[in-house]
Amino acid sequence: MTTAGDIMHRGAQWIPARETLDRAAQLMRELNVGALPISDENERLCGILTDRDIVVGCVAVGRDPAQVTAGDMAHGTPRWVDAGADVGEVLREMKDHQIRRLPVIENKRLVGMISEADLARHLTDDQIAAWAESVYARSGPTPA
């Protein structure tokens, strides 16, 4: 059985909820990623911040990214998967919530992220096609 831990990329880093979006953007550049999990003061997942969130939810509406925090952008219930979850559960979670990135948690700690690139490296063409069709559908919640 292939698990989330098998397909994730390790080294994902939290951005504390109190950190500003300008710092988040710098960290995204340094790590070459488009999303960061947001952690509360207890290092628990409280959201996901994407580069699109910074642009559309902050800059495009005239807010100052040096004054807006990652926590200000955390909305709704964050989605995640356990490192031991099978790939079918990963795909269901991403499809059901129309998300493109999924944090992987083990023993209540962030151990990695699963992105579209990770799926492309580990799934069959048919699995990827079905996933992309469901995630990129225009109904439902806005993709992360």
Q: Is the model's pTM score more than 0.75?
A: yes
CATH code where residue 90 lies: 3.10.580.10
Kindly state whether residue 144 falls inside one of the protein's structural domains: no
Please report, for residues 22, 87, 88, 104, 118, the alpha-carbon distance to residue 6 in angstroms, rounded to integers and kept in the order given: 32, 9, 13, 11, 10
Kindly state whether residue 140 falls inside one of the protein's structural domains: no
Kindly state whether residue 141 falls inside one of the protein's structural domains: no
pLDDT tens digits, the chain, 144 residues: what are they?
A: 889 999 999 988 999 999 999 999 999 999 999 999 999 998 889 999 999 999 999 999 999 999 999 999 988 788 999 999 999 999 999 988 888 899 999 998 899 999 988 988 888 888 888 888 877 765 545 555
* Residue 111 lies in domain: 4-135
Q: Give the number of domains in the chain.
A: 1
Given strand 15-16, what is the order of strands in its sheet? Answer: 15-16, 35-39, 45-50
